[in-house]
A and B are shown apart, each in its own frame.
Chain A
Amino acid sequence: SAVISQKPSRDICQRGTSLTIQCQVDSQVTMMFWYRQQPGQSLTLIATANQGSEATYESGFVIDKFPISRPNLTFSTLTVSNMSPEDSSIYLCSGGQGSLGGGVTEAFFGQGTRLTVV
């Protein structure tokens, strides 16, 4: 299976600043997604990263706060902008292949980025 390298693995940031998280896949994948996981909680989908076009955001998440890039089929970035302590969380990217016939899509995750905003 493919491997996603995500960095940074953790960071402590000042409020009001921005952090960009990168994910590099070792093979081309159809889809990439960005999630947030609060401590003790499950994963919440932030957005679907679309190659060469604007990401598709879930309710409660906006592009100005979480701009996403996906210039090709192996790389994506998520920026957490104008950070506040409420943004402290684990951010995860995932990727996989899919088909409308019900094949596997999201099969693997990056290692996660543990963000603390002070």
Chain B
Amino acid sequence: QKEVEQNSGPLSVPEGAIASLNCTYSDRGSQSFFWYRQYSGKSPELIMFIYSNGDKEDGRFTAQLNKASQYVSLLIRDSQPSDSATYLCAALTGGFKTIFGAGTRLFVKA
């Protein structure tokens, strides 16, 4: 069973702090990894994708991938109340299917 595991949270951080979201995956054949943000009642929105080991930065977001440890993370710098949402980690498996984690709820306190 191919799985993507996330801490369901909630994760609470003060405004301006760094939010760190973590994810592990079981399928070593996974090729690409995605972070989606989902506001309540809305569809998931792609924030970042990463497929090479190391860090990838886009604005306030940094995705980190460690394939040896089967670990993906998302850092949100200078967190804002508008970042409060559920963050879904997803892995593209060798079968070209995307498996989603259960999501981590993030609360950014003003």
Contacts and interface: CB of A to CB of B under 8 A. Distances in A.
A33 B90 CA distance: 14
Interface in A72-112: 92, 98, 100, 102-112
A108 B46 contact: yes
Contacts, number: 52
Contacts of A22: none
A43 B44 contact: yes
Nearest to B51: A102
Interface in B10-39: 31-32, 34
Given A42-B88, A45-B97, A103 B32 contact: yes
A109 B90 CA distance: 14
Residue in B45, B51, B100 with the greatest tally of chain A CB atoms within 10 Å = B100
A42 to B, nearest CB: 5
A53 interface: no
Given A41-B102, A42-B103, A104-B32, A112 B43 contact: yes
Interface string A39-61: 00111110010000000001000
A111 B42 CA distance: 7
A98 B34 CA distance: 13
B88 to A, nearest CB: 6
Residue in A43, A45, A102 with the greatest tally of chain B CB atoms within 10 Å = A43
A45 B100 CA distance: 9
A109 B44 contact: yes
Contacts of B76: none
Nearest to A112: B43
A102 B96 CA distance: 10
Interface of B: 31-32, 34, 42-46, 49, 51, 88, 90, 92, 96-103
15 contacts: A33-B97, A42-B103, A45-B99, A48-B96, A48-B97, A58-B97, A92-B43, A105-B96, A106-B90, A106-B98, A107-B49, A109-B43, A111-B42, A111-B43, A112-B42
